[in-house]
């Protein structure tokens, strides 16, 4: 059994099936294979509806305000695609559905610089990762870089060219990064010969056409083996050793309003936890605390980080427009990791109007790590992250944007995250850690204390990857599952 259908789980399912193993994948979210009343599977970013949020009655958009007006609105409670899960000091955005985070991210398929890798995964051989597993992951994901000649003239990337100009004038490297979008499709979107998707602002709540999510890549190949079954709208609540060997897995079947309509049990020989950093960590600390898996190591729950995420916007001059038409798929960044500890994604602000604004999601070298624990009285897992721990991320991002503002004579936007608030320091898109490789598990994701239990998702990575993390999650899963198949199966 594989719990979750995100990057790590999809890799595990495919490779196990190719090795002749029958795999059952359980996914808490929906299948996202049926169009809604508008004929589209996914809702548009600018017009959220019931499809947009996981069991919320009001949206919680990363950019909560614009030009002084609040953006959030009431929506019907539904098992929608984006979970804005709130803990004490942070909101964690996660994809809900078959394909996990690949459904809702920007698709930036970034491989960390090799010189940074030892700080990302210190117990993993970098030569193997860069020689074998990163190339395998990028091929499996369909990562490719935008055509640089087309980029120079495309209206939809005017905002990125402005970002490049400002970065270079302040002495910062501007780098193209791969993405998993179908670039030929985007060219047709720009030319008016294909239905607009990225150019219609589709990103936060799914993309209807050009994006190569896991549904189109790893999961499609896994299902084609005939050995993989995927069950959506099922939430695993317990995993415990079975009397006859293997593990008894208990799960609730959910309605689209989030109610439990049935409870099921089945037995699996081996169980792979792939519910994402938060989902895996929450489940494991619960199972250790309630005795179902009492021998789990004390490191389970520890080492959680936010990949140093912090957001900001800059107000440009009227002679520096960023374009009313903006592709929702980012394709470049500003790399100041070596000097300032920050990599800044030049992000879109696809409002459909000219904003004269540059917008960024920064990934920073934030040292703070939190821990998940189980609160038995409240019946929930808790995370001890503190909002104040974002200050190192803000300081790192300022090494880029204070300098750009000084050079350009521009200022920060104060209307995007609330009244007079410059920094989006309340969230992360990149949860990592909670079952760290070589600490809660052995060096290939085997959970300590139990034979046949594995972690194979972002929970293995200790809090930071220096860039967008999903290529690293995928590559690490490719490495680990290869070893597990060779030695455990």
Catalytic residue positions, numbered: 345, 430
Backbone dihedral angles phi then psi of residue 185, each to the nearest 5 degrees: -65, -40
Residue 117, both tokens: 């890798």
Q: Please report, for residues 45, 72, 417, 418, the alpha-carbon distance to residue 69 in angstroms, rounded to integers and kept in the order given.
A: 17, 9, 11, 9
For residue 443, the tally of other CB atoms under 10 A from its CB is 16
C-alpha–C-alpha distance, residues 383 and 432, integer Å = 13
CA-wise closest residue to 64 among 74, 54, 76, 72: 72
Q: What is the per-residue DSSP string for 17-83?
A: HHTT--EEEE-SS----S--TTS-SS--TTS--TTTBBS-SB---SS-EETTEE---B----B-SEE
Q: Which residues pair with 260 in a beta bridge?
A: 254
The backbone region for 225, taken as left when phi is positive above 0, alpha when psi lies in -120 to 50, beta otherwise, is alpha
Q: Within a 13 Å sphere around the CA of 48, how many CA atoms are in the beta-carbon half? A: 25
The residue written with tokens 């992000």 in the block is: 347
- Strands 2-3 vs 23-26: parallel, antiparallel or unpaired: parallel
Q: What is the per-residue DSSP string for 95-162?
A: E-STTGGGGTS--B--PPPGGGHHHH-TTS-HHHIIIIIHHHHHHHHT-B---HHHHHH-GGGHHHHH
C-alpha–C-alpha distance, residues 313 and 346, integer Å = 10
- What is the edge-to-edge ordering of all strands in the sheet holding 234-241? 234-241, 247-254, 260-268
DSSP alpha helix (H) spans, 154-224: 158-169, 183-191, 218-224
Residue 19, both tokens: 């090795």
Backbone dihedral angles phi then psi of residue 268, each to the nearest 5 degrees: -125, 145
Hey, is 11 helix, strand or coil? Answer: helix
Q: What is the DSSP letter of 205?
A: T
The helix (H) or strand (E) run that includes residue 488 is helix 470-488
Which residues make Cβ contacts (< 8 Å) with residue 179, sequence separation at least 6? Answer: 106, 107, 108, 109, 143, 144, 145, 146, 329, 330, 331
Which residues make Cβ contacts (< 8 Å) with residue 265, sequence separation at least 6? Answer: 248, 249, 250, 251
């Amino acid at each position: 059994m594989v719990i979750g259908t995100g990057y790590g789980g999809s890799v595990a399912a495919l490779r196990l099936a190719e090795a002749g193993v029958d795999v059952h994948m359980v996914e808490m979210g929906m299948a996202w294979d049926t169009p809604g009343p508008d004929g589209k599977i996914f809702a548009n970013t600018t017009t959220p509806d019931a499809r947009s949020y996981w069991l919320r009655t009001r949206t919680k958009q990363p950019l909560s305000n614009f030009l002084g007006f609040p953006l959030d609105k009431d929506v019907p409670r539904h098992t929608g695609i984006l979970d804005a899960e709130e803990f004490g000091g942070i909101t964690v955005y996660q994809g809900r559905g078959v394909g996990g985070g690949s459904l809702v991210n920007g698709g930036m398929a970034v491989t960390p610089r090799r010189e940074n890798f030892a700080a990302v995964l210190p117990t993993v051989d970098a030569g193997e990762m860069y020689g074998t597993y990163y190339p395998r992951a990028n091929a499996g994901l369909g990562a490719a870089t935008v055509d640089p000649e087309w980029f120079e003239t495309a209206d939809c990337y005017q905002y990125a060219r402005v970002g490049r100009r400002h970065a270079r004038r302040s002495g910062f490297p501007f780098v193209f990064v791969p993405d998993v979008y179908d670039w030929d499709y985007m060219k047709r979107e720009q030319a008016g010969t294909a239905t607009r998707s990225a150019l219609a602002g589709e990103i936060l709540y799914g993309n209807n056409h050009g994006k190569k999510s896991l549904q189109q890549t790893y999961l499609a190949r896994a299902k084609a083996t005939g050995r993989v079954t995927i069950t959506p709208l099922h939430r695993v609540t317990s995993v415990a050793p079975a009397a006859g060997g293997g593990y008894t897995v208990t799960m609730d079947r959910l309605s689209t309003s989030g109610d439990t309509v049935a409870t099921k049990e089945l037995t699996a020989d081996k169980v792979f936890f792939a519910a994402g950093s938060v989902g895996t960590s929450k489940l494991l600390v619960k199972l250790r605390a309630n005795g179902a898996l009492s021998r789990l190591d004390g490191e389970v729950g520890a080492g959680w980080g936010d990949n140093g995420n912090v957001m900001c916007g800059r107000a440009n001059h009227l002679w520096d427009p960023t374009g009313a038409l903006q592709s929702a798929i980012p394709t470049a960044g500003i790399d100041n990791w070596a000097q300032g500890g920050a990599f800044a994604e030049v992000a879109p602000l696809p409002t459909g109007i000219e904003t004269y604004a540059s917008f960024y999601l920064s990934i920073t070298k934030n040292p703070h790590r939190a821990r998940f624990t189980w609160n038995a009285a409240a019946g929930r897992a808790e995370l001890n992250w503190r909002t104040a721990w974002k200050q190192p991320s803000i300081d790192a991002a300022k090494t880029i944007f204070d300098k750009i503002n000084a050079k350009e004579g521009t200022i920060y936007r104060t209307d995007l995250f609330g009244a007079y608030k410059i920094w989006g320091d309340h969230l992360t898109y990149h949860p990592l850690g909670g079952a760290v490789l070589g600490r809660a598990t052995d060096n290939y994701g085997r959970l300590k204390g139990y034979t046949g239990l594995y972690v194979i998702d972002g929970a293995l990575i200790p809090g930071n990857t220096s860039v967008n993390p999903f290529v690293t999650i995928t590559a690490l899963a490719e490495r680990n599952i290869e070893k597990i198949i060779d030695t455990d199966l």
